[in-house]
Chain A
Amino acid sequence: MQRILNNAGFVFLLAVVWVILNESLSVFMILGGVIVGIAALYFTNRLVLKDDYHRIYRVRPLILLGYSLVLVKEIYVAGFHAMVKIITRKVNVNIVEFDTQLKDDFHISLLANSITLTPGTVTMEKSGQHLKVIWIDAHTDDSTEAGREIMGSFERLLLPSETRLGRHE
Protein backbone atom coordinates (compact mmCIF):
# COMPACT_ATOMS: atom_id res chain seq x y z
CA MET A 1 0.00 0.00 0.00
CA GLN A 2 2.78 2.38 0.97
CA ARG A 3 4.50 1.74 -2.32
CA ILE A 4 1.33 2.52 -4.26
CA LEU A 5 1.03 5.84 -2.39
CA ASN A 6 4.65 6.63 -3.17
CA ASN A 7 3.87 6.30 -6.86
CA ALA A 8 0.44 7.96 -6.72
CA GLY A 9 1.43 10.68 -9.17
CA PHE A 10 2.62 8.23 -11.79
CA VAL A 11 -0.45 6.02 -11.33
CA PHE A 12 -2.62 9.09 -11.87
CA LEU A 13 -0.68 9.95 -15.03
CA LEU A 14 -1.07 6.43 -16.40
CA ALA A 15 -4.78 6.44 -15.59
CA VAL A 16 -5.19 9.72 -17.49
CA VAL A 17 -3.44 8.22 -20.53
CA TRP A 18 -5.66 5.13 -20.27
CA VAL A 19 -8.82 7.23 -20.22
CA ILE A 20 -7.60 9.30 -23.19
CA LEU A 21 -6.81 6.21 -25.23
CA ASN A 22 -10.23 4.68 -24.51
CA GLU A 23 -12.09 7.90 -25.30
CA SER A 24 -14.65 7.49 -22.55
CA LEU A 25 -14.79 9.17 -19.17
CA SER A 26 -16.68 6.82 -16.84
CA VAL A 27 -16.04 5.55 -13.33
CA PHE A 28 -15.41 2.10 -14.74
CA MET A 29 -12.77 3.42 -17.14
CA ILE A 30 -10.99 5.45 -14.44
CA LEU A 31 -10.89 2.44 -12.12
CA GLY A 32 -9.58 0.31 -14.95
CA GLY A 33 -6.91 2.89 -15.63
CA VAL A 34 -5.79 2.94 -12.00
CA ILE A 35 -5.61 -0.87 -11.90
CA VAL A 36 -3.69 -1.09 -15.18
CA GLY A 37 -1.38 1.70 -14.00
CA ILE A 38 -0.58 -0.08 -10.75
CA ALA A 39 0.00 -3.33 -12.62
CA ALA A 40 2.28 -1.61 -15.14
CA LEU A 41 4.32 0.03 -12.38
CA TYR A 42 4.50 -3.25 -10.43
CA PHE A 43 5.83 -5.23 -13.38
CA THR A 44 8.25 -2.45 -14.36
CA ASN A 45 9.55 -2.47 -10.80
CA ARG A 46 9.89 -6.23 -10.64
CA LEU A 47 11.22 -7.03 -14.08
CA VAL A 48 12.90 -3.98 -15.63
CA LEU A 49 14.29 -1.61 -13.02
CA LYS A 50 17.02 -2.30 -10.51
CA ASP A 51 15.55 0.07 -7.92
CA ASP A 52 12.16 1.41 -6.93
CA TYR A 53 10.37 3.46 -9.59
CA HIS A 54 9.97 6.62 -7.54
CA ARG A 55 13.59 6.44 -6.47
CA ILE A 56 14.92 6.40 -10.03
CA TYR A 57 12.42 8.82 -11.56
CA ARG A 58 12.52 11.33 -8.73
CA VAL A 59 10.41 14.03 -10.27
CA ARG A 60 6.82 15.01 -9.65
CA PRO A 61 4.30 14.87 -12.49
CA LEU A 62 3.16 18.43 -11.70
CA ILE A 63 6.71 19.73 -12.07
CA LEU A 64 6.94 17.84 -15.35
CA LEU A 65 3.82 19.64 -16.58
CA GLY A 66 5.26 23.09 -15.87
CA TYR A 67 8.57 21.99 -17.27
CA SER A 68 7.07 20.93 -20.60
CA LEU A 69 5.30 24.28 -20.97
CA VAL A 70 8.60 26.10 -20.50
CA LEU A 71 10.20 23.61 -22.89
CA VAL A 72 7.73 24.37 -25.69
CA LYS A 73 8.26 28.10 -25.17
CA GLU A 74 12.05 27.67 -25.28
CA ILE A 75 11.78 25.54 -28.43
CA TYR A 76 9.99 28.35 -30.25
CA VAL A 77 12.25 31.14 -28.96
CA ALA A 78 15.41 29.25 -29.87
CA GLY A 79 13.83 27.95 -33.07
CA PHE A 80 13.21 31.36 -34.59
CA HIS A 81 16.69 32.45 -33.58
CA ALA A 82 18.27 29.37 -35.16
CA MET A 83 16.15 29.66 -38.28
CA VAL A 84 17.33 33.21 -38.95
CA LYS A 85 20.93 32.05 -38.53
CA ILE A 86 20.40 29.11 -40.88
CA ILE A 87 18.70 31.11 -43.61
CA THR A 88 21.27 33.91 -43.53
CA ARG A 89 24.09 31.29 -43.60
CA LYS A 90 25.69 32.70 -40.47
CA VAL A 91 26.15 29.37 -38.72
CA ASN A 92 29.26 28.66 -36.69
CA VAL A 93 29.08 25.03 -35.68
CA ASN A 94 31.26 24.06 -32.78
CA ILE A 95 31.38 21.56 -29.93
CA VAL A 96 31.25 23.10 -26.46
CA GLU A 97 31.66 21.31 -23.14
CA PHE A 98 30.32 22.33 -19.75
CA ASP A 99 29.31 20.98 -16.36
CA THR A 100 25.85 21.04 -14.89
CA GLN A 101 25.10 21.52 -11.21
CA LEU A 102 22.46 18.80 -11.21
CA LYS A 103 23.48 15.60 -9.46
CA ASP A 104 20.67 13.16 -10.10
CA ASP A 105 21.16 10.98 -13.18
CA PHE A 106 17.53 11.18 -14.26
CA HIS A 107 17.54 14.96 -14.01
CA ILE A 108 20.72 15.18 -16.06
CA SER A 109 19.24 13.01 -18.81
CA LEU A 110 16.11 15.15 -18.75
CA LEU A 111 18.31 18.21 -19.16
CA ALA A 112 20.32 16.59 -21.96
CA ASN A 113 17.17 15.62 -23.82
CA SER A 114 15.79 19.14 -23.45
CA ILE A 115 19.00 20.55 -24.90
CA THR A 116 18.63 18.22 -27.88
CA LEU A 117 15.00 19.25 -28.33
CA THR A 118 15.89 22.94 -28.35
CA PRO A 119 16.69 23.91 -31.94
CA GLY A 120 20.31 24.86 -32.46
CA THR A 121 21.84 22.51 -29.92
CA VAL A 122 22.30 18.74 -29.78
CA THR A 123 23.72 16.87 -26.80
CA MET A 124 26.40 14.49 -27.92
CA GLU A 125 27.88 12.97 -24.84
CA LYS A 126 27.16 12.80 -21.15
CA SER A 127 29.57 11.45 -18.61
CA GLY A 128 28.62 12.20 -15.04
CA GLN A 129 27.87 15.90 -14.80
CA HIS A 130 29.84 16.71 -17.92
CA LEU A 131 27.96 17.44 -21.14
CA LYS A 132 29.30 17.74 -24.68
CA VAL A 133 27.01 19.78 -26.91
CA ILE A 134 27.04 20.66 -30.62
CA TRP A 135 26.10 24.31 -30.93
CA ILE A 136 25.13 25.86 -34.23
CA ASP A 137 25.73 29.43 -33.05
CA ALA A 138 28.91 29.09 -31.02
CA HIS A 139 29.93 32.67 -30.34
CA THR A 140 31.86 31.84 -27.19
CA ASP A 141 34.38 29.19 -26.16
CA ASP A 142 34.05 29.84 -22.44
CA SER A 143 32.45 26.80 -20.84
CA THR A 144 30.46 28.55 -18.09
CA GLU A 145 29.20 31.18 -20.50
CA ALA A 146 28.11 28.55 -23.01
CA GLY A 147 26.49 26.46 -20.27
CA ARG A 148 24.54 29.42 -18.96
CA GLU A 149 23.28 30.30 -22.40
CA ILE A 150 22.35 26.78 -23.49
CA MET A 151 20.81 25.24 -20.41
CA GLY A 152 20.14 28.26 -18.17
CA SER A 153 16.37 28.13 -17.84
CA PHE A 154 16.11 24.33 -17.75
CA GLU A 155 18.67 23.99 -15.00
CA ARG A 156 17.03 26.72 -12.96
CA LEU A 157 13.72 24.82 -13.18
CA LEU A 158 15.15 21.45 -12.25
CA LEU A 159 17.45 22.52 -9.41
CA PRO A 160 14.73 23.27 -6.81
CA SER A 161 12.95 20.03 -7.64
CA GLU A 162 16.16 18.14 -6.95
CA THR A 163 17.00 19.87 -3.69
CA ARG A 164 13.48 19.46 -2.38
CA LEU A 165 13.32 15.76 -3.11
CA GLY A 166 16.76 15.43 -1.62
CA ARG A 167 18.50 12.18 -0.97
CA HIS A 168 16.04 10.78 1.53
CA GLU A 169 15.41 7.09 2.24
Chain B
Amino acid sequence: MIEIAGYVLIGIGLAFSAIGIYSVLFYRDFYARVVITSKVDTMGLITVLFGVMLVSGSWSVALKLLVLLVFDLMTGPLATTGIAHSAYQSGYRIKREFGHG
Protein backbone atom coordinates (compact mmCIF):
# COMPACT_ATOMS: atom_id res chain seq x y z
CA MET B 1 0.00 0.00 0.00
CA ILE B 2 2.74 2.43 1.01
CA GLU B 3 4.69 1.35 -2.05
CA ILE B 4 1.78 2.21 -4.36
CA ALA B 5 1.47 5.62 -2.72
CA GLY B 6 5.18 6.11 -3.33
CA TYR B 7 4.85 5.30 -7.02
CA VAL B 8 1.90 7.69 -7.29
CA LEU B 9 4.00 10.45 -5.71
CA ILE B 10 6.86 9.75 -8.14
CA GLY B 11 4.39 10.00 -11.02
CA ILE B 12 3.02 13.32 -9.76
CA GLY B 13 6.56 14.68 -9.36
CA LEU B 14 7.47 13.66 -12.89
CA ALA B 15 4.29 15.35 -14.13
CA PHE B 16 5.34 18.59 -12.37
CA SER B 17 8.76 18.39 -14.01
CA ALA B 18 7.25 17.62 -17.43
CA ILE B 19 4.95 20.65 -17.25
CA GLY B 20 7.88 22.81 -16.17
CA ILE B 21 10.15 21.64 -18.97
CA TYR B 22 7.41 22.10 -21.57
CA SER B 23 6.82 25.65 -20.29
CA VAL B 24 10.54 26.46 -20.40
CA LEU B 25 10.52 25.60 -24.09
CA PHE B 26 7.30 27.50 -24.70
CA TYR B 27 8.12 30.86 -23.09
CA ARG B 28 10.37 33.37 -24.81
CA ASP B 29 11.33 35.69 -21.97
CA PHE B 30 14.54 34.79 -20.16
CA TYR B 31 13.27 35.74 -16.69
CA ALA B 32 10.08 33.73 -17.09
CA ARG B 33 12.25 30.76 -17.99
CA VAL B 34 14.44 31.20 -14.91
CA VAL B 35 11.42 31.32 -12.62
CA ILE B 36 9.87 28.24 -14.23
CA THR B 37 13.15 26.32 -13.97
CA SER B 38 13.34 27.01 -10.26
CA LYS B 39 9.82 25.65 -9.95
CA VAL B 40 10.80 22.40 -11.66
CA ASP B 41 13.75 21.62 -9.47
CA THR B 42 12.02 22.37 -6.17
CA MET B 43 8.48 21.06 -6.55
CA GLY B 44 9.28 18.14 -8.84
CA LEU B 45 12.35 17.02 -6.94
CA ILE B 46 10.69 17.21 -3.51
CA THR B 47 7.73 15.16 -4.69
CA VAL B 48 9.87 12.55 -6.46
CA LEU B 49 12.19 12.18 -3.46
CA PHE B 50 9.27 11.76 -1.05
CA GLY B 51 7.93 9.10 -3.37
CA VAL B 52 11.27 7.28 -3.45
CA MET B 53 11.40 7.45 0.36
CA LEU B 54 8.04 5.68 0.55
CA VAL B 55 9.03 3.09 -2.04
CA SER B 56 12.38 2.27 -0.44
CA GLY B 57 10.67 1.18 2.76
CA SER B 58 13.79 1.36 4.94
CA TRP B 59 14.63 4.05 7.46
CA SER B 60 18.28 4.36 6.57
CA VAL B 61 17.65 4.97 2.87
CA ALA B 62 14.78 7.37 3.60
CA LEU B 63 16.88 9.42 6.04
CA LYS B 64 19.77 9.56 3.57
CA LEU B 65 17.38 10.86 0.92
CA LEU B 66 16.17 13.45 3.44
CA VAL B 67 19.76 14.65 3.94
CA LEU B 68 20.13 14.79 0.15
CA LEU B 69 16.94 16.85 -0.10
CA VAL B 70 18.14 19.30 2.57
CA PHE B 71 21.44 19.84 0.77
CA ASP B 72 19.65 20.37 -2.52
CA LEU B 73 17.26 22.87 -0.96
CA MET B 74 20.24 24.78 0.45
CA THR B 75 22.32 24.91 -2.73
CA GLY B 76 19.68 24.98 -5.49
CA PRO B 77 18.51 28.57 -4.96
CA LEU B 78 22.11 29.82 -4.98
CA ALA B 79 22.54 28.65 -8.57
CA THR B 80 19.21 30.15 -9.65
CA THR B 81 20.01 33.46 -7.97
CA GLY B 82 23.45 33.47 -9.56
CA ILE B 83 22.05 32.99 -13.06
CA ALA B 84 19.34 35.65 -12.63
CA HIS B 85 21.75 38.11 -11.04
CA SER B 86 24.38 37.80 -13.76
CA ALA B 87 21.71 38.13 -16.46
CA TYR B 88 20.48 41.35 -14.86
CA GLN B 89 24.04 42.64 -14.53
CA SER B 90 24.73 42.03 -18.21
CA GLY B 91 21.70 44.06 -19.25
CA TYR B 92 18.87 41.63 -19.94
CA ARG B 93 15.50 43.28 -19.48
CA ILE B 94 12.02 41.85 -19.35
CA LYS B 95 10.35 41.04 -22.65
CA ARG B 96 6.58 41.04 -22.82
CA GLU B 97 5.07 37.66 -23.61
CA PHE B 98 2.55 37.31 -26.45
CA GLY B 99 1.98 41.05 -26.67
CA HIS B 100 -0.16 41.35 -23.55
CA GLY B 101 0.11 41.50 -19.79
Contacts and interface: CB of A to CB of B under 8 A. Distances in A.
Counting chain A residues whose Cβ lies within 8 A of the other chain, the interface size class is 35 or more
Interface of A: 17, 20-21, 23, 68, 71-72, 75-76, 79, 82-83, 86-87, 89-95, 112-114, 116-125, 132, 134, 136
Contacts of A120: 35, 39
B91 interface: no
Interface in B13-45: 16, 19-20, 23, 27, 29, 31-32, 34-36, 38-39, 42-43
Given A20-B63, A119-B38, A136-B35, A76 B43 contact: yes
B84 interface: yes
A119 B42 contact: yes
Contacts, number: 103
Given A75-B43, A83-B16, A122 B63 contact: no
A23 to B, nearest CB: 4
Contacts of B43: 75-76, 79, 83, 119
A90 B39 contact: no
Nearest to A90: B101
A120 to B, nearest CB: 6
A123 B81 contact: yes
A160 to B, nearest CB: 22
B101 A122 contact: no
Contacts of A118: 42
A117 B63 contact: no
Given A21-B67, A79-B39, A117 B73 contact: yes
5 contacts: A87-B23, A93-B29, A116-B76, A122-B31, A124-B84
A12 B60 CA distance: 18
Given A83-B16, A122-B84, A134-B34, A91 B39 contact: no
Given A68-B70, A136-B32, 4 more contacts: A79-B16, A117-B76, A122-B31, A134-B84
A93 B67 contact: no
B81 A124 contact: yes
